[in-house]
């Protein structure tokens, strides 16, 4: 069988190029908006993604870190008793009010109480051992470098959190939060800063690293099988919960879907118009084939095959362009992040754009009436 | 043997308030193994007649028996099937796919007939050889002359081994030499393969080469001339 669709596409690539570009740019738009949304909302899971804990245990049904509740010490015991767990560490989260120097007003801050030992799990990828050591000083805190101006206090300066005096002992990079400022302190400091005072934080978790070869999903399942008043998640699962909660809580998720629909429609219109033009240009040849007895169904398949090839080419071009843009965005510290399911979803939408365009363009074949060739 | 029998064909077109009768109760029979020419001035209805006889356009009234099959009682799908199995077409415009080589143009219809690649290639080579284009088989239409393109189009029609071959003004876009080659080829196909070759043209060069000339005017055939039997090389 002669590969008419593919050979025509290659030979008349100039004619089909606009369609490929339309598909490619649709793909880029879809991927980039997804990457931006994941990048921005990924900040809601920064506690999880910047830590090397593999299993998180918290209040049952917790959708995002700040929405948890304190849990009892029996969760700690359950983790310690699990054969897959290597080490367990508590993590406290306190929503608090920041008062800087006069004239800067109040700010909402999120205080993370973390273990200060050098191999502490929380924020392991953004805090060095020496920074952790600095936090052992009571009421010492570390903030993101980018948040200093917002807080109105330089390193070494003092401010009030929930009425207690704290001192900024250092800065880190990569702990920015969404909708507030992350402040890192020791577990003791965080508990002191809690409005309840004394023993309780607003939210408490236990996190664990695992022994070599232990499967986080299995450990979480074992903990959950006997859990009462607490629940366990693998780190990626807990991070996903946080991101998707915020995406849909804020309407950003709907925004993504809405824009995806707009991109789909625009992409499909441009692609189908280009395809129609290309088919109209070959309509006499198609009519000849039809005269020779090739059914309209077979001719439609040629058009749909062309659409599919346009989709594949656009997908490859758009994917490469997106990879380049992602690298550029990361270089410029634009918050972008991507995951495989999102890549796959975008790829499906791009192929759908191409195929819907093909289906729309098939109509032009009605003009391939062989009787027209005889006039 | 008559392979095409048309009976009382009527066809008209409406343009605005005007109704033009193109075929007015036309009947004819066409025999196998001959080059039959329908000649006449433009607008006399000869192309319409060809499209009705070949199963491309439905008449207002009348019937066509093609290879003992009542064409216009069939549905669209079986008409497509009939054309795929039994007919070849050569048009005034060559209508070749720009992306395909001469060999691929000729192989193309065979793929849709379910002929395997290897057999299709072999049949296409034979067909191209028959129109004298073997040395040009690897070229794209843009690299072929007008006459060569029309010979590729003939090979594309021929490769199906059709019993009916329809040609619409096959020489009008060609110079004298190429026109002559095309006429000779069509006639040879009729005589050697026993194909029914029905050709529509106002090209006077064709008239002297046809085995039979049907002269048409105002939607009717007013003259039916059969050539004296002559030897193949007499032209």
Where in chain B are the domains?
31-55+76-234
Cβ burial B19-40 (10 Å sphere, 16+ → b, else e): eeebbeebebebebbbbbbbbb
E strands, B160-234, in order: 164-168, 196-201, 212-217, 220-226
CB distance B95–A284 less than 8 Å?
A: yes
Condensed to tens digits (0 to 9), the pLDDT of residues A187-209 reads: 999 988 887 654 555 678 999 99
Contacts of B57 in chain A (CB under 8 A): 371, 374
Q: Compute the distance between CA of residue A88 and CA of residue A119 in angstroms, rounded to an integer.
A: 12
Percent of chain A with pLDDT over 70: 98
Segments making up each domain of chain A, as ranges: 4-43+251-374, 45-247
Reported confidence tier of residue A336, pLDDT bands at 50, 70, 90: confident
Provide the mean pLDDT of chain B.
Answer: 91
Contacts of B108 in chain A (CB under 8 A): 2, 4, 289
Specify whether the CB–CB gap between A81 and A153 falls below 8 A.
no
- B16 by Cβ neighbours in 10 Å (0-12 / 13-18 / 19+) ranks as exposed
Q: A284 in contact with B at a CB cutoff of 8 Å?
A: yes
C-alpha distances out from residue B42 to A171, A247, B12, B47, B211, Å: 90, 71, 16, 9, 22
Specify whether the CB–CB gap between A365 and A286 falls below 8 A.
yes
For A299, other C-beta atoms within 10 Å of its C-beta total 20
Q: Which of A98-107, A158-167, A268-277, B119-128 has the lowest mean pLDDT?
A: A98-107
Condensed to tens digits (0 to 9), the pLDDT of residues B126-147 reads: 999 999 999 999 999 999 999 9
- Between positions 297 and 316 of A, the ones with CB within 8 A of B are 298
CB distance A292–B91 less than 8 Å?
A: no
Reported confidence tier of residue B204, pLDDT bands at 50, 70, 90: confident
CB distance B95–A7 less than 8 Å?
A: no
Q: Which pLDDT score is estimated for B235?
A: 42
E strands, chain B, in order: 2-15, 18-31, 35-39, 61-66, 69-70, 87-90, 164-168, 196-201, 212-217, 220-226
Q: Compute the distance between CA of residue B93 and CA of residue B145 in angstroms, rounded to an integer.
A: 13
Give the chain B residue nearest A9 (alpha carbons): B99
Contacts of B99 in chain A (CB under 8 A): 4, 7-8, 10-12
Q: Which pLDDT score is estimated for A177?
A: 81
Q: Compute the distance between CA of residue A196 and CA of residue A191 in angstroms, rounded to an integer.
A: 8
Provide the mean pLDDT of chain A.
Answer: 89
Q: Which pLDDT score is estimated for A373?
A: 84
Token representation of residue A294: 């090739």
Contacts of B97 in chain A (CB under 8 A): 4, 7-8, 282, 285
C-alpha distances out from residue A91 to A111, B109, B233, Å: 11, 73, 103
Token representation of residue A163: 């009425």
Q: A366 in contact with B at a CB cutoff of 8 Å?
A: no
Q: A226 in contact with B at a CB cutoff of 8 Å?
A: no
Give the one of B84, B92, B117 whose C-beta lies nearest to A293's C-beta: B84
Looking up tokens 């997908």, which residue turns up? A315
Chains A, B: CB pairs < 8 Å: 93
Here the ipTM equals: 0.90
On the question of pLDDT at B229 being above 80, the answer is no
The Cα of A12 is separated from the nearest Cα of chain B by a number of Å equal to 7
| Cα angle B63-B66-B69, degrees, rounded to a multiple of 5 | 80
Chain B residues within 8 Å of chain A (Cβ atoms): 47-48, 50-51, 54, 56-57, 77, 80-85, 87-89, 91-93, 95-100, 104, 107-109, 111-112, 117, 140, 156-157, 160, 168, 200
The Cα of A46 is separated from the nearest Cα of chain B by a number of Å equal to 55
Give the chain A residue nearest B55 (alpha carbons): A291
Q: Which pLDDT score is estimated for B234?
A: 43
Condensed to tens digits (0 to 9), the pLDDT of residues B156-196 reads: 999 999 999 999 999 988 888 888 888 999 999 999 999 99
Reported confidence tier of residue B80, pLDDT bands at 50, 70, 90: very high
Q: Compute the distance between CA of residue B205 and CA of residue B176 in angstroms, rounded to an integer.
A: 9
Phi first, then psi: give them for residue A244, nearest 5 degrees: -70, -30
Contacts of B48 in chain A (CB under 8 A): 374
Q: How many helices (H) and strands (E) does chain A have?
A: 13, 9
Specify whether the CB–CB gap between B173 and B154 falls below 8 A.
no
The Cα of A280 is separated from the nearest Cα of chain B by a number of Å equal to 13
Q: Which pLDDT score is estimated for B231?
A: 52
Give the one of A10, A293, A371 whose C-beta lies nearest to B83's C-beta: A293
Q: Compute the distance between CA of residue B107 and CA of residue B109 in angstroms, rounded to an integer.
A: 6
C-alpha distances out from residue B132 to A121, A165, A369, B167, Å: 82, 100, 31, 19
Of B2, B31, B26, B33, nearest to B189 (Cα)?
Answer: B33
Chain centre to alpha carbon of residue A207: 22
CATH of domain B31-55+76-234: 3.40.50.300
| The CA-based dihedral angle spanning residues B171, B177, B178, B184, taken in that order and rounded to the nearest 10 degrees | 80
Of B154, B168, B150, nearest to B38 (Cα)?
Answer: B168
Contacts of A370 in chain B (CB under 8 A): 51, 56, 89
Mutate to test the interface with B, among A8, A16, A374 (most CBs of B within 10 A): A374
């Amino acid at each position: 069988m002669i590969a008419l669709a593919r050979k025509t596409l290659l030979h008349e690539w100039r004619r089909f190029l606009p369609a490929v570009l339309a598909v490619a740019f649709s793909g880029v738009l879809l991927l980039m908006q997804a990457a931006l949304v994941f990048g921005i909302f990924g900040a809601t899971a920064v506690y999880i993604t910047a830590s090397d804990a593999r299993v998180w245990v918290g209040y049952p049904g917790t959708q995002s870190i700040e929405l948890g509740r304190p849990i009892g010490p029996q969760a700690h015991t359950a983790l310690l008793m699990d054969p897959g767990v290597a080490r367990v560490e508590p993590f406290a989260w306190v929503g608090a009010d920041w008062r800087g120097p006069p004239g800067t007003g109040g700010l909402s801050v999120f205080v993370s109480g973390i273990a200060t030992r050098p191999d502490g799990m929380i924020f392991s990828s953004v805090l060095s051992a020496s920074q952790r050591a600095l936090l052992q000083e009571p009421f010492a805190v570390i903030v993101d470098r980018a948040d200093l101006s917002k807080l109105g206090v330089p390193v070494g300066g003092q401010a009030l959190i929930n009425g207690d005096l704290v001192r900024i002992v250092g800065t880190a990079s990569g702990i920015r939060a969404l909708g507030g400022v992350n402040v890192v302190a020791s577990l003791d400091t965080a508990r002191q800063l809690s409005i309840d005072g004394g023993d309780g934080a607003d939210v408490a978790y236990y996190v664990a690293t695992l022994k070599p070869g232990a499967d986080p999903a299995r450990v979480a399942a074992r903990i959950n099988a006997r859990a009462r008043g607490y629940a366990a998640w693998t780190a990626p699962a807990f991070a996903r919960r946080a991101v998707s909660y915020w995406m849909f809580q804020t309407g950003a998720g709907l925004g993504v879907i809405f824009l995806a629909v707009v991109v789909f429609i625009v992409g499909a219109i441009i692609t189908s118009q280009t395809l129609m033009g290309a088919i109209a240009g070959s309509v006499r040849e198609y009519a000849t084939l039809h005269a020779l007895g090739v059914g309209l169904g077979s001719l439609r398949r040629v058009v749909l095959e062309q659409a599919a090839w346009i989709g594949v080419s656009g997908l490859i071009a758009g994917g490469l362009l997106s990879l380049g843009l992602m690298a550029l965005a990361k270089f410029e510290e634009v918050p972008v992040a991507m995951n495989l399911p999102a890549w796959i979803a975008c790829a499906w939408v791009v192929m759908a754009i191409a195929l819907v365009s093909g289906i729309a363009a098939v109509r032009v074949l009605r003009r391939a009436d062989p009787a027209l060739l005889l006039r | 043997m008559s392979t095409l029998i048309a009976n009382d064909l009527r066809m008209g077109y409406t343009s605005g308030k005007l109704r033009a009768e193109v075929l007015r109760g036309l009947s004819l029979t066409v025999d196998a193994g001959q080059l039959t020419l329908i000649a006449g001035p433009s607008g006399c209805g000869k192309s319409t007649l060809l499209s009705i006889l070949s199963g491309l356009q439905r008449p207002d009234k009348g019937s066509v028996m093609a290879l003992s099959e009542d064409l216009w009682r069939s549905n669209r799908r079986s008409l497509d099937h009939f054309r795929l199995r039994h007919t070849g077409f050569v048009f005034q415009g060559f209508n070749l796919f720009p992306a395909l080589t001469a060999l691929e143009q000729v192989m193309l219809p065979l793929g849709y007939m379910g002929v395997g690649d290897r057999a299709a290639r072999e049949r296409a080579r034979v067909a191209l050889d028959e129109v004298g284009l073997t040395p040009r088989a690897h070229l794209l239409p843009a690299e072929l002359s007008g006459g060569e393109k029309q010979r590729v189009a003939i090979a594309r029609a021929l490769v199906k081994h059709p019993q009916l071959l329809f040609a619409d003004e096959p020489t009008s876009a060609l110079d004298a030499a190429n026109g002559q080659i095309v006429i000779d080829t069509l006639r040879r196909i009729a005589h050697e393969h026993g194909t029914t070759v029905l050709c529509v043209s106002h090209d006077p060069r064709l008239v002297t080469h046809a085995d039979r000339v049907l002269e048409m005017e105002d939607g009717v055939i007013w003259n039916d001339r059969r050539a004296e039997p002559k030897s193949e090389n007499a032209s």
